Amino acid sequence: MTDEVLFYAQDGIAYITINRPHTKNAINLAVAKQIAAAIDTFENDNSLRVGIITGAGGTFCAGMDLKAFAKSGERPRIVGRGFAGLTESPPRKPLIAAVEGYALAGGCELALACDLIVAGEGAKFGLPEVKRGLCAAAGGLLRLPRQMPYRIALELALTGEMFSAESALQFGLINRLAPAGQALEAATNLARVIVANAPLALATSKEIISRSSGWPDDTMFDRQRELTDPVNSSSDAKEGALAFTEKRKPVWRGV
């Protein structure tokens, strides 16, 4: 039997591939558990600094496996971690979605849970749950209006219509648009730029940006200092300054 989630690492980058092309990479509970395990491997390996999640066979993910849901009521959700073992508990390290083909329903929500999105030309996004009597409960209704204009997000949620990668780029929902079939390559190029930077600074920068929108104005700098002071006094901070003065690449140790 073919592994339904593939994991490999190279040059500090972790690659997670949903490998169910015969179902357009629809997620069942077994796949959700495998994705969660892959994320744990990524998080716990200090040599890995950036992750990329993608789908096999020219499609990112068509969402929940509706056949499994219709047959047994199975939901591909892990308590505390959400749909696909990811949407409610993204990793602390940066995670990039490399999207080709369709990112629909839970697949769209999976992409939205990532920190950055690179899409191939012709890719399609959408939250079609309302067309099936469902609500998008894996973060799409929460994240979409925070990541693009409110009224556009509301229209997409209420109509259930798909929208193109080109439109997603226009509204700032994705970071980069690649030629069709080259999203993974473009995501890897982006990851290589990120992975060259200090791991403590990367994780903390992500944490501040993702959490600070809810911080009150009168305490936001205090909260930021709690997170940034340990980073700015770390060994890596000293190494960064020393490497700059010595005109060499820094050697990060994550401490």
Residues with a known catalytic role: 109, 129
Q: At residue 58, what is the residue type? A: G
DSSP symbols for 4-65: SEEEEEETTEEEEEE--GGGTT-B-HHHHHHHHHHHHHHHH-TT--EEEEEESTT--B--B-
Q: At residue 232, what is the residue type? A: N
Give, in order, the Cα–Cα distances in Å from 79 to each of 56, 86, 108: 26, 10, 20
Query: What angle, 0 to 180 degrees and rounded to 10, lies between the N-to-C axes of helices 220-232 and 235-245?
Result: 70
Exposed / middle / buried, residue 215 (Cβ in 10 Å: 0-12, 13-18, 19+) = middle
